[in-house]
A and B are shown apart, each in its own frame.
Chain A
Amino acid sequence: MPTSSGRLGRWAHRHARWLFPAPAVLLVAVIIVYPIAYTVWMSLQEWFASSLTAPHFIGLANYRKIALADARFQEAVGRTVYFTIVAVGAETVLGLAMALLFNRQFWGRGLLRTLAILPMVATPTAIGLVFVMMYHPSLGVANYLLSVVGLSPWRWTYSSQTALYALAMVDVWQWTPLIMLIALAGLASLPREPYEAAHLDGASTLRAFWHITLPLLRPALVVAVLFRAIDALKTFDIIFVMTQGGPANASETINILLFNQAFSYFNMGYASSMAVALFAVVMGASLILIKVRRSTTW
């Protein structure tokens, strides 16, 4: 048992600050750092995992190809960013509206929190499957509900015009509650004084919201948007399950395209360069959001 008796025990005690994290550092090195280094190295090679020829070094040729020649990849980049902006934008507006609504004492607060958590932890694959059935153009409940309120039916994930939006709606369904809960926590910690001062000055509720609530809430909102943007850019499960990038590539994001390059065509070098590019996109988005958080003006 852990006591400081014995030479080994004393040695362990002296070096505790290195020994405690050592297993985690080792594990992180093996399962995270090494594979990433390998992916970067692989992105400089041409190699088909299905063939018997060894990888051969081609420098930055893969990157040149995805940056300049591969129109399909560039479309996928645009689609990934667009999907993220649509989904996270809708989540932010809806989540903030819900937080403002629910920021009061009411009967059923606990129930609200419980309900809000359920979509976030539900298995995305299973949820995607349920939405596939709900989106069915002729038998699905989604079109039935549209017809009830007098709207004409959609083709949801079954049409290249609407597929990306229909997928974004699944993301919105799953993750709006996260933004709401984060915004609610932010609202609960706001100081009272600015509102009293604004009230004395005769400021309207809307002005108070715009000039006091929103700026004060910004750090919390940026955190929420940051986490959502990182994950939305990487969305894989629901797209892969629901449309596989179709119809006619209409929902083919970087992740889907690169998954197929790697595991349908076994084009490992090329897929690796796309993976590095995707990481750059995600990292870029994170840095922009972190900068927004630091800057003082809204």
Chain B
Amino acid sequence: MVRGGAGRRRLSTAAFYALAGLFMLPTVFVFYWMITLSLKPQVEATAYPPSFVRFSVTVAGYREVFTKYPFFLYTWNSLVVAAGCTALGLAVGLPAAYSIARWRQQRLAVVILVARIIPGIAYLIPWYIFFRRLRMVDTYGALILTHLIVSLPIIIWVMISFFEDVPAELEDAALIDGCSYLGVFWRIALPLVKPGVVATAILSFVFSWNNFLFSVILAGRSTRTLPIAVYTMISYEEINWGTLAAAATLITLPVLVVALLAQRHIVSGLTFGAVKQ
């Protein structure tokens, strides 16, 4: 749109779509390959040359994931941890974000930004030592608390920019009418930023769901989450590619679907609100 002004001949429509297709092909292909592989019987999953479109469809891989491994438990664990971490993160993060936006508490914002920069493993060593001492390894509490290290900064930073967009006049009018700050936050600001809350909740959920580093050490037999389950499947030398692909699909598909609901806000979430779409 802008570059056209430089008097350059436009790409023809056909060439544009050909180029666009070429660029987006790898994205599509990896997901396509994951899903088709999960539906192939073992012989065809490891056939060479591989079949791209014509193959017999089976759900054996999915059946095996649930019969050979406690996949329902893993899914439940992932759900509990992600939901718990998101709920706690919102309860604590929303008032903080409101306060940072309203009273310009920049120092707090910077501390939280630094928390985002610090490598996760620097938290993991002390947390492992503490939780071992408290006998909290392999509990939901340990996982939820550590996942908050990732979620809370995202929630706070994304919500700051949403709360900053709430018109100050609205809040001031309510304050003059005798409303308390808590009332302003609860009845005026929060309803206005509802789309932001939904988006950050989804982001926080996705990050917790995908988390590997904290869970691989702090989860145990009874709290193992899905990413750890997949990892152990690889290390057990699971040779059935259909089963592996089925597991990968089962883990990824929920986050893909959920993330699409918040797609307008994903980029601003990933860049800490530095980029608004």
Task: Tell yes or no: A214 within 8 A of B by CB.
Answer: no
Interface pair A199/B119, CB less than 8 Å apart: no
Residues of B close to A21: CB separation below 8 A: 95-96, 99-100, 105, 108
Choose one: A16, A103, A240; the contact of B1 (CB below 8 Å).
A103
Interface pair A121/B3, CB less than 8 Å apart: no
Q: How many residues of B contact A (CB 8 A)?
A: 108
Interface pair B122/A196, CB less than 8 Å apart: no
Classify chain A: how many residues form its interface, as a range.
Answer: 35 or more
A21-B99, A213-B3 given as contacts; is B252 within 8 A of A123 (CB)?
yes
Interface pair B2/A190, CB less than 8 Å apart: yes
Interface residues of B in 79-135 (CB under 8 A from A): 91-93, 95-96, 98-100, 102-103, 105, 108, 111-112, 115-130, 132
Interface residues of A in 61-97 (CB under 8 A from B): 94, 97
Residues of A close to B126: CB separation below 8 A: 34-36, 38-39, 42
DSSP class of B's interface residues: helix, strand, loop or mixed?
helix
DSSP class of A's interface residues: helix, strand, loop or mixed?
helix
Task: Tell yes or no: B275 within 8 A of A by CB.
Answer: yes
Task: Tell yes or no: A32 within 8 A of B by CB.
Answer: yes
Task: Tell yes or no: A164 within 8 A of B by CB.
Answer: no
The CA-CA distance from A119 to B102 in the complex, in Å, is: 35
Interface pair A129/B95, CB less than 8 Å apart: no
Task: Tell yes or no: B220 within 8 A of A by CB.
Answer: no
The number of inter-chain residue pairs (CB within 8 angstroms) is 310
B123-156, CB under 8 A of A: which get 1 and which 0?
A: 1111111101000000000000110110010001
Q: Lowest 8 CB-CB distances: which A-B pairs, in order?
A: A24-B96, A20-B99, A16-B181, A2-B182, A4-B180, A126-B248, A125-B227, A35-B126
Sample 28 A-B pairs with CB under 8 A, ordered by A number.
A9-B180, A17-B103, A20-B99, A24-B95, A49-B128, A103-B1, A103-B3, A113-B263, A114-B260, A118-B256, A121-B259, A122-B255, A123-B209, A123-B248, A130-B37, A132-B234, A133-B241, A141-B50, A178-B267, A178-B270, A199-B5, A204-B6, A205-B3, A255-B119, A258-B121, A278-B121, A278-B122, A282-B119
A residues with a Cβ closer than 8 A to B are 2-4, 9, 12-13, 16-17, 20-21, 23-25, 27-28, 31-36, 38-39, 42, 49, 94, 97-98, 100-106, 108, 112-127, 129-134, 138-139, 141, 144, 173, 177-178, 181-182, 185, 187-188, 190, 192, 195-196, 198-199, 203-205, 208-209, 213, 220, 223-224, 227, 230, 233-234, 236-237, 240-241, 255, 258-259, 262-263, 268, 271-272, 275-276, 278-279, 282-283, 286
